[in-house]
Amino acid sequence: MVSVRSDLRYVVVDFSFSRLPFSGQIMGVYRGDDRVGEVRITRSPNQALKGAMVADIREGGIRLGDSVRAD
């Protein structure tokens, strides 16, 4: 997680070292081995930020340090 805006229900996720998800993809949010939430990938905020994607928070109490991955 690069940024978490719980008040606005979105996060910015860094996928620099992994395959970019597609827009609309639902992904799980994990804290260690525990699934703590779910996000929907919406878009890349800026082409200059290669690998960063914006995702809407669908459920959970997500915070910095959590990881996002396909279920």
Question: Which residues 6+ apart lie within 8 Å of 18 measured at CB?
Answer: none
In which domain, by residue range, is 56 found?
Answer: 3-62
Residue 25 belongs to some domain of the structure: yes
Residue 37 belongs to some domain of the structure: yes
Question: What is the model's pLDDT at position 19?
Answer: 85
Residue 21's closest CA among 58, 45, 57, 53?
53
Question: What is the model's pLDDT at position 28?
Answer: 97
Question: What is the model's pLDDT at position 16?
Answer: 85
Sheet holding 10-14, edge to edge: 3-5, 10-14, 52-60, 34-43, 26-31, 67-69
Question: What is the model's pLDDT at position 45?
Answer: 58
Q: What is the rounded distance in angstroms from the CA atom of residue 28 to the CA atom of residue 61?
A: 12
Q: What is the rounded distance in angstroms from the CA atom of residue 45 to the CA atom of residue 30?
A: 23
Residue 36 belongs to some domain of the structure: yes
pLDDT in tens, 8-62: 999 999 988 888 888 899 999 999 999 999 999 997 656 546 788 999 999 999 9
Residue 70 belongs to some domain of the structure: no
Question: What is the model's pLDDT at position 43?
Answer: 76
Q: How many domains does the chain have?
A: 1
Can you give the pTM of this predicted structure? 0.87
